[in-house]
């Protein structure tokens, strides 16, 4: 009979090293595809055919929760979890070696100690790559190994290159390498970007995006312990973009204050830290887009920004890669999170915002409908432009918005627009607003 790995019974229990404590938002919903890919790769590794999986997503999207789920569902492997520390040379591999040391027999400890010394001296040594690979494969030969590496975006280019080297060598080994990284990087480090790109070509890639409204509803009910009105779920989903971390903070704020309009401080801090990574060009485009609203016409943005089309397209590509914007139609884009739109807009200097509103009105010309602007939206831009726009233009636009509201049977809104149109007149007679016909 073939040898089926004579592992003592006590070794059949999962041996997990370093996995962080489970949090309240680590409930997995809406990730069936990602779980299926991980399960297939883990089963393949158990059968001696190693795999590498790269899990990508923005901060808070649930990458660590997915890694935890993989560890908890795989009962027949040794599990090592480690995260990459920014600024630490060759992180996380020295920490991984220390944990692997505990899985090896004592006579092999001297070899791992030598590896640690070599890691501290030269991380780009090809001989070191070979020795590290041999140590990891030796540990996996003793018992199938699930190696979970988080925050890979903090790793150095050398660390990423070794991850790729290992991925190319584990195909006939019971070792599954699961890596989690941000897909929002925009810091301009070409060396890191190229190294991560090389890694994606040898790994099964799973990209986590925002949860659907139904999955958000499940998470909200899990958090609050009861059903929540549909309009509240819709608002929280729009504000969070389906990001579980953002959703958690928004729900907490709603529970404690009853507010659905305030951006939680934790979300604000996360968004601002990501915005600081953007180059000046894409950041300026994002500021302009925030004035147009959460969903906007790319053509309108082109006109308002006054950028060459090729340059604007390049900036939008960066913003999509950084997961600030997504395409929602042939000619429209949307902010992934409503909270990002609000934070950007409220951080603009008032005069700069007013000038952009004015440019929006002027740029739309006679093609507002084709650019996706309703008469009421155009009037709102004109009103927000203030003294940056001729009052006569604002008068015309509020009047048109009033007529539009009448046709929509929205009488109160129509009267409000007519009132504002009247107030724009330079010399108003002392009489009431005329009744619309």
Other C-beta atoms closer than 10 Å to the C-beta of 231 total 9
| Element spanning 81, H or E | strand 78-83
Is the CB of residue 180 less than 8 Å from the CB of residue 151?
A: yes
Q: Are residues 111 and 159 in the same domain?
A: yes
- Residue 21 falls within a domain, yes or no? no
Q: Stretch 102-115: mean pLDDT, rounded?
A: 69
* DSSP state for residue 371 in the 8-state scheme: T
53-96 pLDDT, tens digit each: 999 988 888 998 999 888 887 777 889 999 888 777 788 988 88
Q: With 70 as the cut, is the pLDDT of residue 34 above it? A: yes
Residues 218 and 275 in one domain: no
Longest dimension (CA), the chain: 103
Residue 416 pLDDT grade (very low, low, confident, very high; cuts 50, 70, 90): very high
In a domain, 47, yes or no: yes
Residue 16 has pLDDT above 70, yes or no: no
Answer yes or no: do 204 and 64 share one domain: yes
Task: State the number of CA atoms in the 13 A half-sphere of 87 facing the CB.
Answer: 0
| 20: confidence class by pLDDT, cuts 50, 70, 90 | low
pTM of the full structure? 0.71
- List the structure tokens of 229: 């009105």
Helix (H) or strand (E) holding 35: helix 32-46
Alpha-carbon distance of 38 to 410, in angstroms, equals: 52
Per-chain mean pLDDT for the chain = 84
Q: Which of residues 243, 264, 285 is at a domain's end?
A: 264
Q: What distance in Å separates the CA atoms of residue 220 and residue 244, rounded to the nearest whole number? A: 10
Single residue among 208, 243, 275 that ends a domain in this structure: 208
3-class DSSP state of 89: coil
Whether 253 is in a domain gets the answer yes
Same domain as 149, residue 86: yes
Q: What is the pLDDT of residues 154-165, one digit of tens each?
A: 888 888 999 999
Asked, for residue 410, whether it belongs to a domain, the answer is: yes
Give the burial string for 124-144 (b: 16+ CB within 10 Å, else e): eeeebbebbbebbbbbbebbb
Last-in-domain residue among 298, 317, 348: 348
**Do strands 332-335 and 325-327 pair parallel, antiparallel, or not at all (unpaired)?**
antiparallel
Does 281 share its domain with 339?
Answer: yes
Q: Structurally, how many domains does the chain consist of?
A: 4
Q: Is residue 13 part of a domain?
A: no
Containing 207, the helix (H) or strand (E) segment is: strand 204-207
**Mean pLDDT (whole number) for 219-248:** 88
Per the structure, the complete domain to which residue 218 belongs is given by: 213-264
Q: What is the CATH number of the domain that holds 292?
A: 1.10.10.10
Are 122 and 220 found together in one domain?
no
Confirm whether 9 is domain-assigned.
no
Choice between 55 and 190, residue whose per-residue pLDDT is larger: 55
- Category of 368 on φ-ψ map: left (φ > 0), alpha (ψ -120 to 50) or beta: alpha
Residues 313 and 388 in one domain: no
Q: Are residues 317 and 360 in the same domain?
A: no
Residue 25 lies in a domain: no
> 67 and 183: one domain?
yes
Instruction: Name the residue among 88, 81, 49 with its Cα closest to residue 67.
Output: 81
Q: Cα(290)–Cα(296) distance, rounded to whole angstroms? A: 9
What are the tens digits of pLDDT across the range 272-288? 888 888 899 999 999 99
* Contact by Cβ (8 Å): 174, 144: yes
Domain contains 252: yes
Phi, psi of 335 (to 5 degrees): -65, 135
- Compute the residue count for the chain: 437
Is the separation of the CB atoms in 250 and 267 below 8 Å?
Answer: yes
3-state secondary structure of 213: helix
Q: Which of 100-109, 135-144, 205-214 has the lowest mean pLDDT?
A: 100-109
Q: Is 297 helix (H, G, I), strand (E, B) or coil?
A: strand
Show the tokens assigned to 117: 């010394």
Structure tokens at 51: 């795999």
- Judge if 255 and 282 occupy the same domain: no
Same domain, 170 and 257: no
CATH code of 40's domain: 3.40.50.300
> 392 and 280 in one domain?
no
Alpha helices in 306-410 (DSSP H): 309-321, 338-347, 350-364, 375-385, 391-407
* pLDDT tens profile 294-347: 899 999 999 999 999 999 999 999 999 888 998 988 889 999 888 888 889 999
């Amino acid at each position: 009979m073939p040898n089926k790995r004579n592992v003592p019974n006590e070794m059949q229990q999962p041996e997990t090293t370093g996995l962080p404590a489970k949090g309240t938002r680590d409930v997995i919903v809406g990730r069936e595809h990602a779980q299926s890919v991980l399960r297939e790769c883990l089963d393949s590794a158990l059968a001696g055919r190693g795999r590498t999986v790269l899990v990508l997503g923005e901060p808070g999207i649930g990458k660590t929760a997915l890694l935890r789920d993989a560890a908890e569902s795989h009962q027949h492997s040794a599990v090592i979890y480690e995260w990459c520390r920014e600024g630490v040379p060759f992180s996380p591999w020295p920490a991984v070696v220390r944990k692997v040391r505990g899985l090896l027999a004592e006579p092999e400890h001297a070899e791992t100690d030598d590896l640690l010394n070599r890691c501290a001296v030269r991380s780009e040594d090809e001989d070191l790559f070979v020795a590290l690979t041999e140590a990891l494969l030796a540990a996996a030969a003793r018992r199938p190994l699930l190696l979970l590496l988080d925050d890979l975006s903090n790793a150095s280019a050398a660390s990423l290159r070794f991850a790729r080297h290992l991925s190319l060598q584990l195909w006939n080994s019971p070792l599954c390498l699961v890596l989690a990284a941000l897909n929002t990087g925009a810091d301009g480090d070409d060396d890191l970007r190229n190294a991560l790109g090389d890694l994606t070509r040898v790994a099964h890639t799973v990209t986590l995006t925002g949860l659907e409204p139904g999955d958000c509803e499940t998470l909200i009910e899990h958090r609050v312990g009861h059903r929540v009105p549909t309009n509240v779920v819709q608002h929280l989903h729009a504000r969070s973009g389906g990001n579980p971390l953002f959703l958690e903070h928004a729900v907490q704020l709603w529970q404690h204050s009853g507010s659905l309009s305030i951006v939680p401080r934790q979300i604000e801090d996360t968004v601002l830290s990501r915005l600081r990574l953007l180059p000046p060009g894409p950041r300026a485009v994002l500021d302009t887009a925030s004035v147009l609203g959460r969903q906007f016409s790319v053509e309108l943005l082109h006109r308002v920004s006054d950028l060459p089309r090729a340059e604007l397209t390049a900036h939008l590509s960066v913003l999509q890669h950084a997961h600030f914007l997504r395409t929602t139609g042939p000619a429209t884009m949307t902010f992934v999170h409503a909270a990002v739109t609000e934070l950007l807009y409220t951080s603009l200097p008032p005069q700069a915002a007013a000038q952009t509103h004015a440019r929006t009105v002027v740029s739309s010309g006679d093609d507002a409908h084709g650019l996706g602007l309703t008469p009421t939206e155009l009037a709102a831009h004109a009103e927000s432009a203030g003294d940056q726009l001729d009052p006569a233009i604002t008068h015309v636009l509020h009047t048109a918005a009033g007529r539009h509201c009448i046709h929509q049977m929205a009488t109160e809104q129509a009267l409000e627009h007519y009132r504002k149109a009247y107030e724009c007149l330079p010399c108003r007679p002392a009489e009431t607003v005329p009744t619309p016909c």
